[in-house]
Structure 1
Amino acid sequence: MTGSVSLVPPPLYIPQDVDMTAVKAQVAASGVSAPPEAMPGLLAVVNQAHADGINLKIVLLDHNPPNDTPLRDISTVVGADYPDATVLTLSPSYAGSYSTHFPRVTLEAGEDIAKTGNPVVSAQHFLNELDAPEFPWTGLTIVLLIGVLAAAVGTRFLQLRSKRAATSENARENSEAEHAEGV
């Protein structure tokens, strides 16, 4: 087979009722695209994120799409304009995010706790997850590997010691048997 293999990203699913041009314009102006009543609280979360060194953008939909996939897609489209930003898109029941700075597992943990129904509380929970220290998996892995190595070395040592004890026991029995025959 000749030719090149190209990886085509899956098509984005943006609901028809979401005006991405307006969303992008609002995010460009303030960092938040949301109905007016939610703007002050979400702007406070964005400002707190900036104070913590996180370039956070937030998009709020006032209705739920059929599932959470469109929220991640909206975040991805907005994030394409801000490669250094983390984008959170919220709806009343779902959350979706995009970031080049945080691992997907952290983003999804933040999404899981950002489904409160209150957009400001949801955004704050998401930010708190981003600010939380990550579990030191590298340290745990090193400790476990050292423990396994120590157990393997200890097991081998005990095997050799047991074998030596059995060999010396056989030699002693043979010596006693030879000595008894010679008497």
Structure 2
Amino acid sequence: MTNSVFGPMATGLPEGADLDEIRADLADDHVAAPSGRDQRELADLVARARADGIELSVVVVPGNPWHDSQLRDLATEVGKFEHGTVAVFSDDWIGTDSDSISRVRLEWAEDTAKYKGGDTAEAVGIFADRLERPDGISWSVLTGVLIAITVLLVGGLAWLKARRRATEHAGPH
């Protein structure tokens, strides 16, 4: 049997990722990090995000995997048993999965949280802050403002035209 370059690839998880250990570590504070690492600051950030309505769970892997897509693959696997939004952080990259937040919004939040040189607390803080922001432009408000401007312009032009007409009919004095 030959391998095809166009066939699907197996899910690649970062080296040493153990889903059973991650599940057990997430159980108490929604944070899973390598042993010996202080999780208190991360747990506080996650608790704050959860208080703000974002069901965030954070997994930290040491170093960087050979490819950043492995973090997303791990987040997807964790997302199968941990509901909400799962963010997997390495020293420089982030991989995410969510059953409640769009991929576009996740990647927007990821962009500024990457490349923090292993400062996971800073990266988690930036990521959570971006997720907590309201979605940019409210299209309903923008549409309403544009309609109001159009109505004012049409009304103003009609008023000017009527005034000009009245002036022309009055003739010279």
Same fold, judged at TM 0.5 (above): yes
User: What is the CA–CA distance in structure 1 between the aligned matches of 2:22 and 2:94, rounded to whole Å?
Assistant: 16
CA-CA distance at 1:61 after TM superposition: 0.6
User: What is the CA–CA distance in structure 1 between the aligned matches of 2:21 and 2:47, rounded to whole Å?
Assistant: 21
Moved over 4 A (4+): 143-147
Q: State the match for 2:123 in structure 1.
A: 122
Rg larger in structure: 1
Cα RMSD of the aligned pairs, angstroms, is 2.8
User: What is the CA–CA distance in structure 1 between the aligned matches of 2:18 and 2:82, rounded to whole Å?
Assistant: 18
Q: Which amino acid aligns with 1:52?
A: D
User: What is the CA–CA distance in structure 1 between the aligned matches of 2:110 and 2:85, rounded to whole Å?
Assistant: 12
Matched, 1:139 2:136: no
Q: Which amino acid aligns with 2:99?
A: T
Counting matched residue pairs gives 145
Task: Give unpaired runs (5+ residues) of structure 2.
Answer: 1-7, 155-173
Q: Kindly indicate whether structure 1 or structure 2 has the higher relative contact order, using CA contacts under 8 Å at least 6 residues apart.
A: 2
Quickly say closer, same or farther: Cα 1:14–1:95, change in 2 above 3 A.
Answer: same
The TM-score with structure 1 as length reference comes to 0.68
- Which stretch of the first structure deviates more once superposed, 130-139 or 44-53? 130-139
Task: Give unpaired runs (5+ residues) of structure 1.
Answer: 1-8, 155-183
The TM-score with structure 2 as length reference comes to 0.72
Cα deviation digits, residues 60-96 of structure 1 (max 9, x gap): 011101121011111111111123x111100001001
Q: Which amino acid aligns with 2:133?
A: A
Contact 1:72–1:97 (8 Å) recurs in 2: yes
Secondary structure of residue in 1 paired with 2:72:
helix
Q: Which amino acid aligns with 2:102?
A: P
Contact 1:57–1:87 (8 Å) recurs in 2: yes
Matched, 1:67 2:64: no
